[in-house]
Amino acid sequence: MAIAQYKLGEKVATRDGYGDALLGLGEKHEDIVAIDADLAKSTKSIVFGKKFPDRFKYVGISEADMVSMAAGLALSGKVPFASSFACFVVNRGLDQLRISVAYSKTNVKIVGSHGGILTGEDGPTGQEIMDLAIMRSMPNFTVICPADYYETVAATYAMYENAGPFYMRTCREKTAIFYEGVPEMKIGKAVVLAQGADGAIIATGGLVEQAMKAQEILKGKGLSVSVLNVPFLSPFDSKAVGEECRKGAVVSAEDGTVNGLGSAVAEVIAEKGIDCRLARVGLRGSFAESGKPAELLEKYRMNADAIAQELLKVKGEDRI
């Protein structure tokens, strides 16, 4: 299976990167199996299922059972990729994720699609906003939130190539392509997408696109701001984040509660004693609602304009 070719700036959903990469891995590695909680067409694991029906299983609307099955498959020598909507697999399968996967250190790969309010019209019950905060606190889990199609492909490869529990969030909404091909991915490492000396935007997943747009807005206002893409919430690249925070003005941006990436950045600032003002873009103490993704980002102040404005605030300026 050849990975699809896209141009910089084209819009593609990260869930498509997962489906394509899983199929490609399946063609090379017979130990890979895939299971899904009746949402394979949406998570894109169906791409694997159609090619390898004998290595694919629908488990029904039973996410806790799916996680337990994945743990059993891992203990029998398989490499299971278990997929569902993030709101279901994380919340309904939490006890099994904690005991059967994290505590037991089983080689299980969990993929939660439809992450964040970019899920849009599905509404607050289908928009998973807490998964990054929950999963980054789970011992032994590597937690990934890729920014584009190609980074998702790289993340899926990394999940297979590295033993142990993994959780990856993907998105339904199409987001911009940032890489010219599948990048080299190092576990726990962040990536600088834009250089700047006047401050930094530290973003993950679907909001990396908004961060890059905010960087352009600020450039037009005379500010040189860097953008740090953080695909790994755990392990966390404290070194790279710390370097950005030493610029003195930082905005974190994530599609969900600010207790994921935002809290991780705040911990780096506090623990390293860095003199830095931080604004955390994301949801604070509330769910969102049903609506078009762009309108939701605007209403909940998570779009490029809001990110740029927050950066100006932490710098004590008002140019918008």
**Is residue 243 annotated as a catalytic residue, yes or no?**
no
User: Phi, psi (5° rounding) for residue 260?
Assistant: -95, -95
The whole-angstrom separation of Cα 280 and Cα 276 is 13
How far out from the chain centre does Cα 14 lie? 9
Tell me which of 10, 30, 63, 161 is the catalytic residue.
Answer: 63
Q: Which helix (H) or strand (E) holds 51?
A: helix 46-51
The whole-angstrom separation of Cα 40 and Cα 42 is 5
DSSP one-letter code for 290 = S
Residue listed under structure tokens 């911990």: 267
Residue among 143, 133, 136, 207 nearest 169 (CA): 143
**CB neighbours of residue 98 within 10 Å:** 17
Sheet architecture: strand order including 191-194? 191-194, 225-229, 199-203, 249-257, 277-283
- Catalytic site residues? 63
